[in-house]
Amino acid sequence: MSIELRRLAAAAWRAELPARRGFEVPTADDETAAALRALFGRSVSVVDATREIVADVRARGDAAVRDWTRRIDGVDNGDAKVDAAALARAWEETAVDVRDALTATAVRLRHVHAAQVDHANRGDDLAWLRPEPLQRVGCYVPGGRAAYPSTVLMSVIPAQLAGVGSIALASPPGADGRVHRLVLAAAHLLGIGEVHAIGGAQAVAALAFGTESIPAVDKVVGPGNLFVTLAKREVFGTVGIDLLAGPSEILVIASDGADAQLIAADLVSQLEHDPLAWAVCMTTSEALADAIAERFAAAAGSAVRASIIAAAAGSHAAVVVCATLDEAVDLAAAFAPEHLSLQGGDAEAMRDQVRNAGAVFCGALSPVSMGDYIAGPNHTLPTQGAARYRGPLSVMDFVRWPSVVELSRDAFEELAPAASTLARAEGLAGHEAAIRARLDALEAAR
- Are 249 and 17 in contact, with CB atoms under 8 Å apart? no
Residues 6+ apart with CB under 8 A from 179: 82, 143, 171, 172, 173, 195, 197
For the question of residue 379 being annotated catalytic, the response is no
> According to the model, what pLDDT value does residue 397 have?
98
Sketch out the chain's domains with CATH numbers.
6-23+246-375 (3.40.50.1980), 84-241 (3.40.50.1980), 407-444 (no CATH)
Please determine, for residue 388, whether its predicted confidence score (pLDDT) is greater than 70.
Answer: yes
> According to the model, what pLDDT value does residue 425 have?
98
> According to the model, what pLDDT value does residue 144 have?
63
Spatial separation of the C-alpha atoms in residues 224 and 208, rounded to whole Å: 15
> According to the model, what pLDDT value does residue 274 have?
84
> According to the model, what pLDDT value does residue 78 have?
82
Please determine, for residue 146, whether its predicted confidence score (pLDDT) is greater than 80.
Answer: no
Q: What is the mean pLDDT of the chain?
A: 95
> According to the model, what pLDDT value does residue 360 have?
98
Any idea what DSSP says for residue 166? Answer: E
Any idea what DSSP says for residue 362? Answer: E
Cross-strand partners of 343: 254
For the question of residue 426 being annotated catalytic, the response is no
In percent, how much of the chain has pLDDT > 70? 100
pTM: 0.94
Q: Of residues 188, 316, 339, 379, which has the active-site annotation?
A: 339
Backbone angles phi, psi at 296, to 5 degrees: -65, -45
- CB burial of 114-124 (b: ≥16 within 10 Å; e: otherwise) equals eebeeeeeeee
- For the chain, the C-alpha Rg in angstroms (whole number) is 25
Spatial separation of the C-alpha atoms in residues 204 and 236, rounded to whole Å: 10
> What's the first-to-final CA gap in the chain, in angstroms?
89
> According to the model, what pLDDT value does residue 77 have?
82
- Are 133 and 163 in contact, with CB atoms under 8 Å apart? yes
Give the pLDDT confidence of 159-191 residue by residue, as tens digits. Answer: 999 999 999 999 999 989 999 999 999 999 999
- How many residues does this entry show for the chain? 446
Q: Of residues 338, 379, 426, 432, which has the active-site annotation?
A: 338
Neighbouring CB atoms inside 10 A of 79's CB total: 11
Please determine, for residue 256, whether its predicted confidence score (pLDDT) is greater than 70.
Answer: yes
Question: 348 pLDDT band (50/70/90 cuts)?
Answer: very high
Please determine, for residue 267, whether its predicted confidence score (pLDDT) is greater than 90.
Answer: yes
Question: 303 pLDDT band (50/70/90 cuts)?
Answer: confident
- Are 345 and 33 in contact, with CB atoms under 8 Å apart? no
- Are 149 and 157 in contact, with CB atoms under 8 Å apart? no
Question: 26 pLDDT band (50/70/90 cuts)?
Answer: confident
> Kind and range of the H or E element at 51?
helix 46-60
Any idea what DSSP says for residue 125? Answer: S
> According to the model, what pLDDT value does residue 145 have?
59
Give the pLDDT confidence of 223-254 residue by residue, as tens digits. Answer: 999 999 999 999 999 999 999 988 999 999 99
> According to the model, what pLDDT value does residue 186 have?
98
Mean pLDDT, range 319-341, rounded to an integer: 97
> According to the model, what pLDDT value does residue 301 have?
86
